[in-house]
A and B are shown apart, each in its own frame.
Chain A
Amino acid sequence: MSVSSPVVRMRGVAIGYGDRPAVRDVDFALDAGEVVVLLGPNGAGKSTVVRGMLGLSRLMAGELELFGVPAADFRQRYRLGYVPQRHTIVGGVPSTVREVVSSGRLARKRLFAPMRAADRAVVAAAIDLVGLAERADVSVGKLSGGQQRRVLIARALAAEPDILVMDEPTAGVDAANQEILAATLGQLVAGGSTLLLVAHELGPLEPLIQRVVVMRDGRVVYDGPPLPGGEGAYHSAEQGAYRTVHHHPDEGHSGYLGLTGRLP
């Protein structure tokens, strides 16, 4: 895989459910090492863009490339680490943090292949990174909402993805736990990770963000650096028909999300 191809590239993309596109005419590219937030009100189509990238919603028009490969031919789904927006991860049977995080490792494993010591070490490193090492063998049902969110981040990290895609990471999480989440993500960003976040407000993640893509009514209305003055600033920028051309930041970023370096 050539280092220069963007992690994601969308040209004139429409994505939807059933026959109706929920987003259209989306042009968007994201390079390795970038930290981008998709911002917009509920129903603007932010999650749909992400779901289209992940193969969970149907691509109805345009071109979608992942790591330089057309999405239809893309087989390395483990390179996209998905952290869904779920308020609870408790199933009908209790499972521990380690069991849930281990399920993220499977994307890298062949059918019937057992977990090896190296896999278990990656899982342990992922749990450690989100600060849950002491609770690794506790049932996830006993954790707070914010801790469960961190379990989902660790699960995504266990596949050693090239990009972390997070849907509303701070929604439904109390202020104190939002700070912990922001610190965890800050650690990943400091390690050179690529992050694509979906949010309806920046909140405590603001200092991490390098680029903002604002969506409204299924279309991209702003794509550029964060503007001072909060969400209102994007609204006025958009009314002034201001649309920045995105410049690629330092190219040549690649590699896993910091975990490999942490292994013993």
Chain B
Amino acid sequence: MSNLLHYSFMQRALLAALLVGLTAPSVGVYIVQRRLALIGDGMGHIALAGVAVGVLTTSKPVLTALAAALAGAVGIEFVRARGRTSGDVALAIMFYGGIAAGVVLISRAPGGTPANLTSYLFGAITTTSRGDLVVFGVLAVLVLTVTVGLAPRLFAVSNDEEYARASGLPVLAINLLLAVLTAATVVISMRVVGLLLISALMVVPVATAQLIVGSFRSTLALAVVLGLLVSVGGTATSYYADTPSGGTIVLFAVGLFAATSAGTSALRALRRDTHDEAEDHLHRHGEDCGHPGLPHEDHVDYAHDGHRHAAHGAHYDEH
């Protein structure tokens, strides 16, 4: 491990990975809640056009990517707010227009080689500069401050947009804010994860966490832990294995999801054998409920519409 931290480019890559692991699931949880898992992917596509402009004009690609992603975020939210079915097609045109412009512009740039296109798309550990880290740090502080401070509102609007509007919450403003947070996260992730793979880190840790826990708050907390684990672990591994960091991180995340999924479904199958809770119950079974009592080992079951109910705490189990 010590030789890994010996190189300053690795120190920067690992710090960037840390910021990605913290922010991507914090924003991703709301994206998954709205069932918009692919929106981050689209923003990555649009950001590539910004990167290309940066490469072409030899200005900082991280800043031009940020500008493009922010413009894309606002555009996407306005298309969504109009709520037409043609919105889906409008989004596709924006996304593919972005990536096509990016690929073409980078190929015409003086320093544009297929190799550095690949590092923008799939991440590389050698590319994070000191200046990038400053931008990422500022963006991460912003993203975390807003997602923590406005968590209840982001939850309410993502959970039921119509109800949020009826109860007077500023729905359009909150949606725009979430889009801007997504754009910022895309930019934070662009060096180590890459623009084509960013969305995975917003979505997969959240999907994995919700296999294990049952509340929104604990899903978010666990997703951040898993995000940190795979992004830092994947970045370190890519140093030793000499693989693109983004691909390595995402393979870690997907592998963790698959293992968790297999583990929890095996556990559930085991549990189903022993414990099955009865449907919503209107009354307490007892001597005068009308359902015949049937002694069963140390307790009494009640015959209820052809199955047996046994009291278990506040509910009834099927026996």
Chain A interface (Cβ within 8 Å of chain B)?
A: 54-56, 75-78, 80, 82, 84, 86, 89, 91-96, 99-100, 102-104, 106-107, 109, 111-112, 115, 134, 137-139, 142, 144, 146-147, 155, 159, 176-177, 179-180
Query: Counting CB contacts under 8 A, is B215 at the interface?
Result: yes
A258–B103 Cα distance when bound, in Å, is 62
Contact of B280 among A95, A99, A146 (CB under 8 A): A146
A56–B169 Cα distance when bound, in Å, is 12
Known: A93-B219, A137-B215. A54 touches B166 (CB 8 A): yes
Chain A residues with Cβ below 8 Å from B275 are: none
The chain B residue sitting closest to A147, CB to CB, is B280
Query: Counting CB contacts under 8 A, is B242 at the interface?
Result: no
A49 to chain B, nearest CB (A): 14
A84–B152 Cα distance when bound, in Å, is 20
| B152 adjacent to A93 (CB under 8 Å) | no
Contact of B167 among A89, A92, A107 (CB under 8 A): A107
Residue among B166, B167, B217, B280 with the highest chain A CB neighbour number at 10 A: B167
What is the number of residues of chain B that contact chain A, defined by CB distance less than 8 Å?
Answer: 36
| B280 adjacent to A107 (CB under 8 Å) | no
> Would you list the 3 A-B pairs with minimal beta carbon distance, nearest first?
A77-B168, A103-B156, A107-B167
Query: Counting CB contacts under 8 A, is B216 at the interface?
Result: yes
| A95 adjacent to B166 (CB under 8 Å) | no
| A56 adjacent to B33 (CB under 8 Å) | no
A99–B282 Cα distance when bound, in Å, is 25
A153–B206 Cα distance when bound, in Å, is 29
| B213 adjacent to A94 (CB under 8 Å) | yes
Chain B residues with Cβ below 8 Å from A84 are: 160, 162-163, 166
The chain A residue sitting closest to B36, CB to CB, is A92
Chain B residues with Cβ below 8 Å from A80 are: 166-167
List 14 contacting pairs A-B, 8 Å CB cutoff, sorted by A.
A54-B166, A55-B166, A75-B168, A77-B168, A82-B167, A84-B160, A92-B35, A95-B159, A96-B215, A99-B215, A106-B152, A134-B314, A155-B163, A177-B280
Query: Counting CB contacts under 8 A, is B149 at the interface?
Result: yes
Contact of B163 among A82, A138, A142 (CB under 8 A): A82
Chain B interface (Cβ within 8 Å of chain A)?
A: 29, 32-35, 37, 149-150, 152-153, 155-156, 158-160, 162-169, 206, 210, 213-217, 219, 279-280, 282, 314-315
Chain B residues with Cβ below 8 Å from A75 are: 168
Chain B residues with Cβ below 8 Å from A56 are: 162, 165-166
A99–B159 Cα distance when bound, in Å, is 10
| A94 adjacent to B152 (CB under 8 Å) | no
The chain A residue sitting closest to B153, CB to CB, is A106
A94–B187 Cα distance when bound, in Å, is 28
User: What 7 new A-B contacts, CB under 8 Å, besides A77-B166, A103-B152, A139-B215?
Assistant: A77-B168, A91-B158, A93-B33, A100-B159, A112-B149, A139-B214, A177-B280
Known: A77-B168, A146-B280. A99 touches B155 (CB 8 A): yes
Chain A residues with Cβ below 8 Å from B280 are: 144, 146-147, 176-177, 180
Known: A93-B32, A99-B155. A138 touches B214 (CB 8 A): yes
Chain B residues with Cβ below 8 Å from A55 are: 165-166
The chain A residue sitting closest to B37, CB to CB, is A92
Chain B residues with Cβ below 8 Å from A111 are: 150, 153
